[in-house]
């Protein structure tokens, strides 16, 4: 009898998976085109590209802790998730009609605000339909679907550019609205069991004070890693620095996402059999090796090895980290825990990216990637020590 690879996946996980697939397809179709759209179509200066994307990403990260806490206070997940995906569609519509780059900034901010609103409640909603025994597998399943959209989106963008050219970028953004709207229609079908309304005399709802010490220790170790985990844009810049053509760089990025999608489910399954932090430590070590490779790379050929390995690192960390946070947090404070964790670590990625740029300008790319490799190795050692001493036990 043949074993089905995706056996016993809850219906809500399938729906969330397809929602993320369409949403990420939409976002990744637009993302590679934004710098060209801003500068060539809207006439923005190059500095405006950094301003638009910096504000957009800061909005996404800063929103998450508040969205997570608000979701737990109301006892609702689905309304935040639907609203977040809806705002992403609205943001792309604003970008589509933008007559000037200031309007494009508003569109990107609305889009990323939606991402911040939806992500912690979505992850909590996914955790609600899992158990500790299968949580890693189902989070990995969701990440695979999400990342499949990140494979299709850039390929669609390349195909569009090849067929119609850069003078019609606005219509590529218009096309991206379609999968964004589909994602809203799919997520609206997800069932949610709301808890009974709170009454006077009920004990206070769990909050940050109820999160275990293991949560804060794990946040600290992850924060150490994030200090050196700069934006993926630096990987692309390094590939260009080694002489790769733009199309080849985008294809290498697609390969990275394809490996990420393929390995997310088996990595999540592995984390259900081993302690999740042990799998994450393995991911950090792969990251350290990849960043060391980017630091010393002397030819384009090595890029085709490093990008797939980078996909393996993120498959071993992204969904599994979320699953572990869900393991640690009480159910009633789960969205708060996810939102705070994602907000703090996301903010550190922004800081890491600023530092990476300074190191690159002052000392060259070797310093940027060497620093990232060193912090990843330190984070791996710190997480392994916490695991070995029993400080990362789940309740």
Integer Cα distance of 16 and 27 in angstroms: 16
Q: Show Cβ contacts of residue 365 under 8 Å, excluding neighbours closer than 6 positions.
A: 234, 237, 238, 241, 294, 295
pLDDT at 37: 77
Integer Cα distance of 56 and 321 in angstroms: 24
Query: Which fold is adopted by the domain 10-191?
Result: Growth Hormone; Chain: A; (1.20.1250)
Phi-psi region of 201 (alpha: psi -120 to 50; beta: other; left: phi over 0): left
Reduced to 3 states (helix: H, G, I; strand: E, B; else coil), residue 68 is helix
pLDDT at 1: 41
Q: Domain residues of the chain, as ranges?
A: 10-191, 211-395
Three-state helix/strand/coil letters over 332-371: HHHHHHHHHHHHHHHHHHHHHHHHHHHHHHHHCHHHHHHH
pLDDT at 182: 95
pLDDT at 101: 83
- pLDDT tens, 92-140? 999 889 888 888 889 888 998 999 899 999 988 898 888 888 999 999 9
- pLDDT tens, 264-320? 999 999 999 999 999 999 999 999 999 999 999 888 889 999 999 999 999 999 999
- Contact present, 151 and 254 (Cβ < 8 Å): yes
Integer Cα distance of 255 and 151 in angstroms: 8
Distance of CA 362 to the CA centre of its chain: 29
Up-side HSE of residue 82: CA atoms within 13 Å toward CB?
12
- Contact present, 267 and 320 (Cβ < 8 Å): yes
Superfamily of domain 211-395: MFS general substrate transporter like domains (1.20.1250.20)
Name residues of the chain where pLDDT drops below 50: 1
- Cα–Cα–Cα angle for 145, 147, 150, rounded to 5 degrees: 125
- Contact present, 294 and 238 (Cβ < 8 Å): yes
- Contact present, 218 and 326 (Cβ < 8 Å): no
Q: What is the pTM of this model?
A: 0.86
pLDDT at 383: 96
Q: Show Cβ contacts of residue 243 under 8 Å, excluding neighbours closer than 6 positions.
A: 300
């Amino acid at each position: 009898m043949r074993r089905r690879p995706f056996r016993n996946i809850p219906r809500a996980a399938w729906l969330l998976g397809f929602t993320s697939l369409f949403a990420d397809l939409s976002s990744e179709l637009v993302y590679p085109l934004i710098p060209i759209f801003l500068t060539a179509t809207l006439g923005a200066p190059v500095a405006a590209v950094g301003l638009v994307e910096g504000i957009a990403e800061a909005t996404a990260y800063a929103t998450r802790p508040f969205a997570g806490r608000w979701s737990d206070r109301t006892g609702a997940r689905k309304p935040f998730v639907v609203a977040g995906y809806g705002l992403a569609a609205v943001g792309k519509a604003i970008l589509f009609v933008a007559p000037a780059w200031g309007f494009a900034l508003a569109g990107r901010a609305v889009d990323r605000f939606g991402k911040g609103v939806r992500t912690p409640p979505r992850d909590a909603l996914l955790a609600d339909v899992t158990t500790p025994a299968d949580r890693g597998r189902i989070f990995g399943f969701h990440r695979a679907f999400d990342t499949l959209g990140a494979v299709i989106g850039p390929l669609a963008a390349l195909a569009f550019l090849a067929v119609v050219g850069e003078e019609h970028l606005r219509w590529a953004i218009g096309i991206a609205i379609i999968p964004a709207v589909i994602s809203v229609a799919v997520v609206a079908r997800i069932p949610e069991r709301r808890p009974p309304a709170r009454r006077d005399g009920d004990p206070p709802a769990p909050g940050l004070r109820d999160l275990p010490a293991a949560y804060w220790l794990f946040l600290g170790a992850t924060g150490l890693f994030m200090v050196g985990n700069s934006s993926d844009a630096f990987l692309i810049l390094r590939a260009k620095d080694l002489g790769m053509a733009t199309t080849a760089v985008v294809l290498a990025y697609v390969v990275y996402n394809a490996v990420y999608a393929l390995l997310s489910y088996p990595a999540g399954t592995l984390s259900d059999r081993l302690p999740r932090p042990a799998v994450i430590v393995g991911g950090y070590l792969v990251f350290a090796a990849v960043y060391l490779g980017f630091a010393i790379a002397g030819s384009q050929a090595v890029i085709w090895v490093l990008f797939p390995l980078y996909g393996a690192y993120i498959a071993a960390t992204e969904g599994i980290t979320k699953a572990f946070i869900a393991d640690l947090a009480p159910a009633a404070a789960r969205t708060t825990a996810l939102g705070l964790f994602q907000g703090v670590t996301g903010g550190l990625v922004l800081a890491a990216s600023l530092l990476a740029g300074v190191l690159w300008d002052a000392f060259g790319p070797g310093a940027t990637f060497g620093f990232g490799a060193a912090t990843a190795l330190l984070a791996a050692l710190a997480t392994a020590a916490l695991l070995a001493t029993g400080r990362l036990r789940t309740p």
